[in-house]
């Protein structure tokens, strides 16, 4: 089951962009245009993180965040249009975990969501305490995640095997191409991205909600060290 992100934002165009970027990243989303609807969803559903606009029609994000905090420790990322709001978010104990200033790139926001979820994962009670991990049998070209053999294409295997050499070390798309293709010149960075995407989908089937491959924007990919 993908983690569900609750978006509380009254501007449909911004919300649409957020839904698109987060779902592209493998999250599920719920969009609410008012604080009241947002609180109802928080009570009824298992929400991993809230993206909260400061300027809402029925309340403001600061008040709503206080209400959320009285109910749950779910991480909150504020969306704000004004720098004086940033001062309040940073300066006061409102309880937000991060903020993004409008206009922002939806991909940037998705990266923040992942970072906050990683940062807060340790303090979150997890229903799944089984140890996680990848194992590789290079002779059989088999990679296991949490003891489950992954059904990988030749290219996916090569990419994951390359990332497994040094967990945490960032590999550029070019380095991954060199490792994964017999004729790297015939491929492009976007081909690498496409294979990483399908690889992630397979990893998520075994380890939902766990980011096994971390994106370093503008640089490349690394294997998460928290496996
Ligand atoms: Ca607004």
Predicted pLDDT of residue 114: 92
Predicted pLDDT of residue 31: 97
Distance 54 CA to ligand 1 centre (A): 7
Dist. CA 45–CA 4, nearest whole Å = 9
Q: Give the number of other CB atoms < 10 A from CB of residue 39.
A: 18
| Global pTM exceeds 0.75 | no
Dist. CA 96–CA 67, nearest whole Å = 12
Predicted pLDDT of residue 10: 96
Contact 188, 128 (CB under 8 A): no
Predicted pLDDT of residue 227: 65
Question: Which residues of the chain fall below pLDDT 50?
Answer: 125-132
Distance 19 CA to ligand 1 centre (A): 16
CB-based contacts of 182, cutoff 8 Å, min separation 6: none
Distance 3 CA to ligand 1 centre (A): 24
Distance 131 CA to ligand 1 centre (A): 42
- Beta strand 49-53 with 28-32 is unpaired
Predicted pLDDT of residue 170: 87
Distance 55 CA to ligand 1 centre (A): 4
Distance 81 CA to ligand 1 centre (A): 8
Distance 53 CA to ligand 1 centre (A): 6
């Amino acid at each position: 089951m993908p983690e569900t992100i609750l978006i509380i934002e009254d501007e449909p165009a911004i919300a649409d962009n957020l839904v698109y970027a987060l779902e592209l990243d493998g999250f599920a989303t719920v969009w609410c245009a008012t604080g009241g609807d947002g609180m109802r969803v928080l009570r009824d559903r298992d929400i991993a993180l809230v993206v909260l606009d400061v300027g809402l029609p029925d309340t403001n994000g600061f008040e709503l965040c206080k209400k959320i905090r009285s109910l749950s420790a779910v991480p909150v990322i504020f969306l704000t249009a004004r720098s004086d709001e940033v001062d309040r978010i940073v300066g006061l104990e409102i309880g937000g975990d991060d903020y993004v200033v409008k206009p922002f790139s939806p991909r940037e926001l998705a990266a923040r969501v992942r970072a906050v979820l990683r940062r807060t994962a340790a303090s979150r009670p997890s229903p799944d305490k089984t140890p996680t991990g990848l194992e590789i049998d290079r002779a059989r070209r088999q990679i296991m995640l949490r003891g489950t053999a992954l059904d990988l294409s030749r290219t996916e295997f090569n990419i994951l095997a390359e990332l497994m050499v040094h967990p945490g070390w960032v590999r550029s798309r070019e380095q991954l191409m060199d490792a994964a293709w017999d004729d790297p010149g015939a491929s492009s960075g976007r081909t690498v991205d496409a294979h990483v995407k399908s690889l992630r989908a397979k990893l998520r089937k075994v380890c939902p909600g766990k980011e096994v491959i971390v994106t370093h924007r503008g640089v490349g990919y690394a294997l998460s060290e928290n496996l």
